[in-house]
């Protein structure tokens, strides 16, 4: 797949999408104006957004995979996963008050995150190699906030929009990769005290470690890899749940505690 956008167009789209993120307003999907855009172009835009944040002094604290479950792909009408970066200010502490005014139409997803202790690279990384290169697995809830009006987007537009990344909350429990069968670990999501979603790790590409392997493969297409010490959110085990101001979310992870937040 090749590039269709000039450097100027990439810079313009990155500024446009980052402004929508920082000022919390909706935009129409960018492929309406650039219908020939490819995933390579979209990833150029995403990396330019990342460069802009780094230039302003933000640190990158991890990566995320998105749309990694069949339920999520069906929900959003796309056929493949995407990825994004996590900047320092996306990270909130457990039990955080999430400022609703800073977001457009947030949704929450129950996820597992892996922390690597060895580099992972290439198109054919296996689940076993990922587990061997994993220091810790932690429960983590992602708050996504697509910048696109009425969630009308395609995979290319989403990838350019840093895969809707906006905030995430990590729980206080951590496990070694060998401590659990990550495919069968269960999660229960409650909104305002009511169960709204349940799921098991296998919802993510049959095994959440497969999502890390897929990230290595997607990065390899750009000559990039996953360095040791990378925090990676592997994607929603449950469908994403829309939240409103005042909502309280608690996600219970099997034998791994809870992750909570309130939208204020």
Q: How far is the CB of 81 from ligand 0L1 (least distance, A)?
A: 8
Closer Cβ to ligand 0L1, 120 or 144, answer by number: 144
Token representation of residue 162:
């840093």
Q: How far apart are CA 233 and CA 230, in angstroms?
A: 10
Closer Cβ to ligand 0L1, 57 or 240, answer by number: 240
Closer Cβ to ligand 0L1, 125 or 143, answer by number: 143
User: From Mg ion, ligand 0L1, none, which one binds at residue 158 (CB under 5 to 8 Å depending on kind)?
Assistant: ligand 0L1
Q: How far is the CB of 181 from ligand 0L1 (least distance, A)?
A: 23
Spatial neighbors of 25 by CB under 8 A, at least 6 apart, are: 104, 147
Closer Cβ to ligand 0L1, 134 or 164, answer by number: 164
Q: How far is the CB of 96 from ligand 0L1 (least distance, A)?
A: 18
Q: How far is the CB of 84 from ligand 0L1 (least distance, A)?
A: 7
Q: How far apart are CA 114 and CA 129, in angstroms?
A: 13
Binding site for Mg ion (CB under 5 A): 66, 109, 142, 236
Binding site for ligand 0L1 (CB under 6 A): 64, 66-67, 72, 76, 109, 142, 144, 146, 158, 163-164, 235-236, 240
Provide the β-strand partners of residue 137.
Answer: 114, 175
User: From Mg ion, ligand 0L1, none, which one binds at residue 163 (CB under 5 to 8 Å depending on kind)?
Assistant: ligand 0L1
Q: How far is the CB of 253 from Mg ion (least distance, A)?
A: 15
User: From Mg ion, ligand 0L1, none, which one binds at residue 76 (CB under 5 to 8 Å depending on kind)?
Assistant: ligand 0L1
């Amino acid at each position: 797949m090749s590039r269709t956008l000039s450097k100027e167009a990439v810079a313009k789209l990155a500024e446009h999408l980052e402004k929508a993120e920082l000022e919390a307003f909706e935009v129409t999907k960018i492929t309406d104006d650039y219908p020939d855009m490819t995933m390579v172009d979209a990833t150029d835009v995403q990396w330019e957004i990342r460069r802009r944040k780094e230039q302003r002094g933000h640190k990158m604290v991890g990566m995320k995979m998105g749309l990694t479950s069949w339920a999520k792909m069906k929900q959003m009408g796309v056929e493949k996963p995407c990825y994004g970066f996590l900047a320092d200010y996306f990270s909130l502490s457990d039990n955080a008050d999430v400022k609703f005014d800073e977001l457009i139409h947030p949704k929450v997803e129950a996820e597992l995150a892996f922390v690597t202790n060895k580099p992972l690279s290439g198109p054919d990384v296996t689940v076993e190699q990922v587990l061997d290169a994993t220091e810790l697995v932690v429960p983590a809830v992602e708050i996504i906030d697509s910048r696109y009006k009425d969630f009308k987007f395609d995979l290319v537009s989403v990838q350019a929009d840093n895969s809707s990344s906006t905030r995430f909350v990590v729980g206080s429990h951590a496990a070694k990769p060998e401590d659990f069968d990550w495919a069968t670990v269960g999660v229960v999501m409650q909104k305002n005290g009511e169960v709204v979603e349940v799921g098991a790790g296998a919802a993510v590409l049959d095994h959440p470690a497969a999502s890390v392997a897929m990230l290595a493969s997607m990065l390899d297409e750009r000559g990039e890899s996953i360095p040791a010490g990378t925090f990676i959110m592997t994607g929603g085990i449950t469908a994403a749940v829309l939240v409103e101001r005042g909502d309280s979310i608690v996600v219970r992870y099997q034998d791994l505690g809870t992750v909570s937040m309130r939208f204020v």
